[in-house]
Structure 1
């Protein structure tokens, strides 16, 4: 997707680029750049190469209070054979991402732990592409399902503990769920599910969001025989109106 772009700077640990650290490249980037397309962080590690899922991440964020504005973070591992290939892995408490773009297929955005906030971001993926055990809020985001041989699943939330503990769960408010690169006026052949429970107490809510007709009418899909999850939808709109499951 990014092959036609000319890069102003390249980060490479083997010193083959302009910088060896992402922080140095970001510090050198001009202030007030136009959009996320201006600053792109890309990598291509995947499970198929023997990496553990969390080690495939193009970018890892751990520092509390981290804020990113107008960045594109991509894992360009070829699909479908690469399997899990993470673009962002964040464990940063009170982290915030504004007008960022996350590009990948399976396991694009790993909201791993702690409190995270995503505002006006574009998230691309195919299977479990927003996953983890963070307490994460997604507001005014565009969520794009990519064509894939397997079933598209948007979330795989991983809350493991008692449901009365409020430290984990995904909330989507005023987001748009649709297909990437869909021809106008053509009904989609792609079916996407809002989520499946990665852990026993998986918690996900979609509210006041636009659900295109790629969303399966049943909304959610089982996984590992989990029965204690909480899934809910409230006041959504669009071409499909899924039933509330919670």
Structure 2
């Protein structure tokens, strides 16, 4: 696999007030892109600034991780939104992180919807068009991150955005390429070598479903969730395994150079 490249991203900045989520500081040295919560499913203004600053210190590119306005449910519960509402909700959140990035001498690299918003938009044309439209209004050079073959990525391309297909290193897959529900046994992978083995397969264009069947998958970036138990140790081991396989990790902006929407 020598010569192959992949972006490693993580969902971070999801603490809120006195409540702490994830091990962002320990995880940051091992990722290349950070998707930062924008205050509606997690995060708050001080957490947002602190996380942007942390990413800058480690040379990690930053992106917005907007979700439904659902702090109590951590953005993992679907909501019924009109296209106009969805567009403005995204614009509001992306704009907030855009400002914090600018204040810290950085610029946004990407936008990755969070939780239920991500999964609903993956199969909902109108919602995905609203997401893409909001991104274009903020900055049409931003990269839209979403599931491979999804309506979300199709909407991004149609809007003239660069897009990145995402795989999940610490989540189990169904045979149809969807993620196993978090509540199901075996849905979350916490063994570092098991995660590394899954990501190495993804770099080859495939993943083993929870049933044992091998299915195709094409990804540009792989996510490690910041709230997965042992996430920093998992990320460290993954970087070691990728290096041994001759696979280079790099941020999306560098990986997608030359991509035409």
TM-score w.r.t. the length of structure 2 is: 0.31
Higher relative contact order (CA 8 A, sep 6+): 2
Instruction: Indicate the structure with greater helix content.
Output: 2
Structure 1 or 2, whichever has the larger Rg, is 1
